[in-house]
Amino acid sequence: MNVRERVVDVLAEVVAELLRDDLRRVLLGEDVRDGGMLGLSRAAMRDPALGLRVLATPLTPATNLAHATGLALAGRRPIVLLNSATALLEGYAALRELGRVGATANGERAAPVLIVAPTGPGFGLGGDGADSPDAAIAAVPGLRVVVLGDASEAPASLRAAASFDGGEAPTVLLLPRALILRELEAHEYKAQLGRPLGSARVVRPGAAATVFAVGATLDAAFAAVEASGVDAAIVEVSGLAPIDETGVLAAATSGKLVVTHAGGRSHGAGAELVALLADRAILHLDAPVLRVTGDDGPFTGRDEFAGLPSVAAIAAAITRVATY
């Protein structure tokens, strides 16, 4: 019998492993001593040896981030578990200060803080629980911002983010709500990414067009390519800041490009990606770069999935660029 496990439950085990592997790591967040809203600290709290490094804090994001910054400067490796990515908007000033620490220290100090937060539609909560503030977070200088696109890579992405292999810049790992309650068989979860965190990767080859899928839109992009009947490549773009420019531009040679992401069109996460393609891939372009998004919102719990682009809308964009 194959055992199926929810993404959030597997991530909870990874969080506990991270604490065991490095004594410098500590957890911060609201209700984390009770498991946290997503249950990501539940496995850690089952281990008495880890409990002293699980620090419950009020849901005051600026205070949480300031505390985490201080701990990082003192040699710790804080992991901040948030109930929602929108909490970072409330703590935006502290987030900006966190991003500045390394950039203004001339290499003399760093603040390797990892922030893990759910984003976008998926829980039926509406309001803040359906928003996708990814672009606003990625706009903060000095941050590394990565959004999960493939549920099977969730454990490997969390491990890679916590390792700071690419440098000790403070890192935000965004977990789309549409992905993290899924159940996969144990063998489907990838142990290692096999590539640098945040790098773009071609997940489906194709010559007639290219779809750049950000975050939770990856599955819809696959369905849309099948529905369109176009031989289109699909590129997963997980790095929002910095964007993997080399990987993205290398995949743009079809000249017929579609970018799709969660959240509204206005100042959405794909806008910078489209600007990059229009600027640096101009000699390849044979059609306008099309962006397919969700609605702008705000959303109630009943309509929050309008915050994700539909398969039909992505398929229509693929057909339009392929026949331009």
Q: Where are the domains of the chain?
A: 4-188, 201-322
Sign of CA dihedral 210, 216, 217, 220: positive
- Other residues' Cβ atoms within 10 Å of the Cβ of residue 111: 23
pLDDT at 92: 94
Alpha helices in the chain (DSSP H): 7-21, 42-45, 61-73, 87-90, 92-103, 134-138, 154-163, 177-180, 218-228, 245-250, 271-280, 311-322
CATH number of 4-188: 3.40.50.970
| Banded model confidence at residue 103, pLDDT cuts 50, 70, 90 | confident
Mean pLDDT of all residues in 14-21:
97
Chain centroid to Cα 218, Å, comes to: 12
| Banded model confidence at residue 45, pLDDT cuts 50, 70, 90 | very high
Give one word for 126, left, alpha or beta, with left for phi > 0 and alpha for psi -120 to 50.
Answer: left
d(CA 220, CA 204): 13
Judged against a pLDDT cut of 90, whether residue 60 lies above it is answered with no
Mean pLDDT of all residues in 246-270:
93
Task: Please state, in angstroms and as integers, the Cα–Cα distance from residue 314 to each residue in 153, 201, 232, 260, following that order.
Answer: 23, 19, 12, 7
The answer to whether 4-188 and 201-322 have equal CATH topology is yes
pLDDT at 314: 98
Judged against a pLDDT cut of 90, whether residue 150 lies above it is answered with yes
Q: Exposed, middle or buried by CB within 10 Å (0-12, 13-18, 19+), for 323?
A: exposed
**pLDDT tens readout for residues 183-235:** 999 999 998 998 999 999 999 999 999 999 999 999 999 999 999 999 999 99
- Side chain identity, residue 193: L
d(CA 316, CA 306): 17
pLDDT at 37: 87
pLDDT at 1: 52
| Banded model confidence at residue 43, pLDDT cuts 50, 70, 90 | very high
d(CA 27, CA 12): 12
Q: Does domain 201-322 have CATH number 3.40.50.920?
A: yes
